[in-house]
């Protein structure tokens, strides 16, 4: 499977011995993936243009809090739409979205860490 070219820039900073903050920006070249070839039986090939936008960008700002025997994290990210609403495809039906997430890790022993996370849009 071919994936679009992308560029990502991230930064990490320890705020204290318990808190850290991360940030990232990304760019993905999806417009070249909007041309889909369709063949049915012996019929001639048909190419459909899904009209993906260029560029698709995203940004996120998560934070990490270290607690005794574990880590909590939370963050927010924003993703621009891959296509306009009138050109949205059933293959990738997502529009612009802002996501919030959080998680918890608990170190039970040196060889066992339990974790859970949740994302909402």
Q: What is the pLDDT of residues 28-75, one digit of tens each?
A: 777 666 656 667 777 666 666 666 666 556 667 777 777 767 788 888
29, 51, 70, 83, 117 from 33: Cα distances, Å = 8, 9, 41, 12, 31
**Total count of domains within the chain:** 1
Q: Which domain holds residue 110?
A: 6-120
Claim: this prediction has a pTM higher than 0.85: no
Closest CA to 114 of 103, 101, 98: 103
- Is the per-residue pLDDT at 26 higher than 60? yes
Residue 1 belongs to some domain of the structure: no
Residue positions counted in the chain: 121
Residue 98 belongs to some domain of the structure: yes
Residue 86 belongs to some domain of the structure: yes
- pLDDT at position 116: 93
Contacts of 70 (CB under 8 A, 6+ apart): 104, 105, 106, 107
- pLDDT at position 112: 92
Q: How far apart are CA 85 and CA 89, in angstroms?
A: 9
């Amino acid at each position: 499977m071919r994936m679009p070219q992308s560029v990502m820039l991230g930064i990490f900073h320890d705020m204290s011995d318990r808190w850290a903050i991360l940030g990232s920006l990304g760019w993905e070249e999806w417009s070249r993936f909007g041309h889909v070839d369709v063949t049915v039986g012996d019929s001639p090939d048909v190419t459909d243009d899904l009209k993906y936008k260029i560029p698709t960008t995203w940004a996120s700002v998560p934070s990490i809090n270290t607690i005794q025997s574990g880590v909590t994290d939370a963050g927010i990210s924003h993703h621009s739409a891959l296509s306009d609403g009138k050109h949205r495809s059933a293959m990738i039906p997502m529009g612009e979205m802002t996501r919030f997430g959080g998680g918890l890790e608990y170190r039970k022993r040196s060889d066992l860490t339990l974790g859970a996370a949740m994302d909402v849009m």
